[in-house]
Amino acid sequence: MSALDLSFEVFPPKEGTSPDFEAGVRGLTAIGQTVSVTYGASGSGRDRSEIAIEALSATQDASKIAAHLTATGQSRERVLDLVSNWKDRGVRKVVALRGDTPPAGLDEFACAAELTEAISRIGGLDISVACYPEGHPKSPSPQAEMDHLKRKIDAGASRAITQFFFDPDMYLRFRDRCVAAGITAPIVPGILPVASLNVLHRFADRCGASVPAWLDARFSGLEDATDDRRALSIATCVSLAERLAAHGVSHIHLYTLNRFRDALTVARALGHTPEPTVQTSPKTEEAA
């Protein structure tokens, strides 16, 4: 099996950037297609994201950095000015999302499809959007959600990245439904390492994803066994990626949780040899 294409998602540290964070991202860009930086829901969270993107675009290959951007909570003018600024800095990839903040009474984009269409009109940008194999918690119906995904793709998105999941068959059924709906863009599987069962269930409750009983059983009792939990998390990610690859998947998106060392180990197991090897502080990764 040839090495899978990999992209990675990271979140900005509290100070917006740091030497460990920048070194970790540099290691990921050396072996992956893209490292995307999440965007805070509002206020200081957005500030940290923007600081991180500006720092990364100034110190490394900006063409491999993708900036998350949310439609809600700020004006259309402000959003488009931000995208244009990033483009001037060499950042040519955007992940267009609706966002979780309620409308703030501004002249906002109503949804991710509108945001995608507006970014597409700027030109010269590669746009990814989100999709939800198990359904978005706020979606009125599976058909309405599929229609909205097609609208985002038709608006100019190059691919859709899934919410995390642990059942490859469920992903494959969703991919088939996308094809039947006329969606030809790649549906990139998103894989989440298990940092802890508590964290996993919190994420799953927030986004409507399911945690299978076998996964609970696999990680039960390992909350204080850091090394064992890390090793098992890596093995679980690799196994899921390999099962997907056996069904024609060529690109995996890894939600790293800023655990750079673990992400590099997953990449190595999937056929990528990182060079140079990035040394990150285990203490920093645990704090993340």
Positive/negative CA dihedral, 167, 171, 172, 176: positive
Residue burial 123-148, b: 16+ Cβ < 10 Å; e: rest: eebbbbbbbbbbbbeeeeeeeebbeb
DSSP character at residue 3: P
**216 phi and psi angles, rounded to 5 deg:** -55, -45
**231: nearest Cα among 188, 184, 265:** 265
Contact 254, 24 (CB under 8 A): no
Position 283, amino acid:
K
Residues labelled catalytic: 9
| Residues 6+ positions from 288 with CB-CB distance below 8 Å | 11, 13, 257, 258, 259
Instruction: Give strand pairing partners of 160.
Output: 129, 187
The three-state secondary structure class of 9 is strand
Q: Give counts: helices (H), strands (E), the chain.
A: 11, 8
Q: Which two tokens stand for residue 268?
A: 């190595």
Residue 15, Cβ neighbours under 10 Å: how many? 10
